[in-house]
Amino acid sequence: MMKKISFLAISLCLLFSISGCKTEINFAIPGHPLLFSDEPEYSKTDYPIVLVHGLYGFDDIFGLQYFYQIPTVLRNGGAEVYIAEVSGTTKPEQRGEQLIKQLDEFAAISGKPKFNLFGHSLGAPTIRYVAATRPDLVASVTSVAGANFGSDVADAKALDIPPVALIIGLMGNVLGHVIDIVSQNNFEQNILDTLESMSTEGIVEFNGKYPDGLPSAPCGTDGDEVVINAISNEPIRYYSWGGNAQTTNKLDPLDLLHAVVTKAIDGDDDDGIVPRCSMQLGHVIRDDYKMNHLDHMNWFLGLKAKDAPYPPALYRAQANRLKTLGL
């Protein structure tokens, strides 16, 4: 019954979006205790938390959050949380410049000079770029299922065929603009730039420019947790976690996407989009959660593997870790 009501709510929001429906969709695991935390300062970091989305990301669409339930859980623990909005499809450097402008705005609002940045997927290289170029704005970097060593999807041979690349570019950019329209944004979209930057060749170039926190090789765990930034001469802490499951819940319609992508790229040790060996950065909290790529943002609507952790709890635990460190 709860699902029927909730899907009806989503449908009504879609139907009447022109009138500005902003109802927050929040029904999967509705009674999870972390949504009603009795520890009001558990995740109260000194510096605000900024959540940075990945490919085709957004803040919320008709009340449905990209980081589903995660801001609520963090705020219930005392955290000051901001949701960044950057281009869904372009290079990490361009997304990073867009993020820097927003961080300057957030700093003016919060009165805090630095932020704890959490980046999901393409959001990880994005926040790494910001930490490298504007370290004065960054206290810590947390990569969540981050494509720190690229993605096999970007190396697909089909992209070398001009007509195929043209179609992918057209369709991918249209999707980006549609998401922008419904999320009330207006960013430049370039999916081919994204794929180029996440290819083996592209990520090697990116990592050569912005190596802070990276292990010596993919799948490594020797990345520095604390890096003294060359520009600011101040420390920035680096963390990461991820998973390596593709299908995690039979009721999740998005699991099919992960299964198809994994099969298409002949992968197995990945989360359906990003290889496990691409996720490591700084202190690796864990890289083998029973979670797929979208589970890390608590999609779809909180559906997950039975024995997997509640995704917002991972963000909450990381916030507490940062709080303990005075960040």
> Which residues are known catalytic residues?
121, 271, 293
Locate 100 and state its tokens. 């820097």
- Asked if 34 and 73 count as a contact pair (C-beta separation under 8 A), the reply is yes
Identify which of 22, 31, 67 has the alpha carbon closest to the alpha carbon of residue 49: 67
Q: How does 296-321 read in b/e, with b if 16+ C-beta sit within 10 Å?
A: bbbbbbbbbbeebbbbbebbbebbbb
> Which residues make Cβ contacts (< 8 Å) with residue 245, sequence separation at least 6?
271, 272, 289, 290, 291, 292, 295, 305, 308
CA 262 – CA 267 distance, rounded (Å): 5
Counting DSSP H helices and E strands in the chain, the numbers are 9, 9
Secondary structure, 3-state, 161-173: CHHHHHHHHHHHH
Number of CB atoms found within 10 A of residue 20's CB: 9
